[in-house]
Amino acid sequence: DFPMPFISAKSSPVIPLDGSVKIQCQAIREAYLTQLMILKNSTYREIDRKLKFWNKTDPEFIINHMDTNKAGRYRCQYRIGQYMFRYSDTLELVVT
């Protein structure tokens, strides 16, 4: 069984309007794909993905020009093989 990924905001989960935030998704070495997802209309949808062709296990995603549409609940998932994947806990991003 593989560990759950860990999601965090590099500075703060509270972002000023039109600011930016860097989100780090801790994956594992065996993961070939890491996805950042946001909860919209009761469903998580992918907003970005990183393919792993390097020896780095902590992909980073940058969200620019934060507004109320980009605020909300985020989570990461990583994929191993064709069907195996794990989801992180949620990270709540707030715009001020």
Distance CA 67, CA 52 (A): 29
pTM score, two decimals? 0.88
- The pLDDT assigned to 2 comes to 81
DSSP string, 25-41: EE--TT-SEEEEEEEET
**Per-residue pLDDT band at 21 (split at 50, 70, 90):** very high
Per-residue pLDDT for 54 more than 70? no
In percent, the amount of the chain with pLDDT more than 70 equals 95
- Catalogue all structural domains in the chain, each as residue range(s) with its CATH number: 6-83 (2.60.40.10)
